[in-house]
Amino acid sequence: MRLNKNDIDFICPDFPYEGVCQRFRKEVVKYGFIERYPEGKENITKIAPEPWHFRYVGFPHSEIMRDKNLALEEYVDYIRGFVYRKKHLRIQKGTQEMEVFYISAGDEEEMTVTLPEYLVYQISGNNVDGFIVTVWRRQHE
């Protein structure tokens, strides 16, 4: 397989599901990237497959999406099932535990979210209607 070509289509580049491209596709998940418009999800994304198009969603979200075969739109819906003050999604990786939950932007005029100071956490807008909170903690905490 030769990807170094004289003529490159920059609108729809070749990015096959084999060789170095496939190895790249598998490795980027652990760095928080997903294939944004995968084949078979056109009815959900409303976009034709784009095997060259990757998006950063962060870890562990990229791994959850891969393991559950979810497009980004499906993942946003899935995470809405893990609401703050209720059940949270918990992921265990070695001694690291991650906790993920959703906060709606429209539930209340003002909301206070309490997170322990000593934990690492990330709050990201879901580009639709709320926020996804990811908390990292050690197994013994």
Rg over CA atoms, the chain = 18
71 touches 44 (CB < 8 A)? yes
CA–CA dist 64, 34 (Å, integer)? 10
55 has which bridge partners? Answer: 34
Which residues are annotated as catalytic?
50
> Which of left, alpha, beta for 94 (phi over 0: left; psi -120 to 50: alpha)?
left
Please tell me the distance from the alpha carbon of residue 1 to that of residue 91, in angstroms, as a whole number.
37
Residue 17: DSSP 8-state: S
Give every CB contact of residue 102 below 8 A, 6+ residues apart in sequence: 79, 80, 81, 82, 83, 84, 126, 130, 131, 132, 133
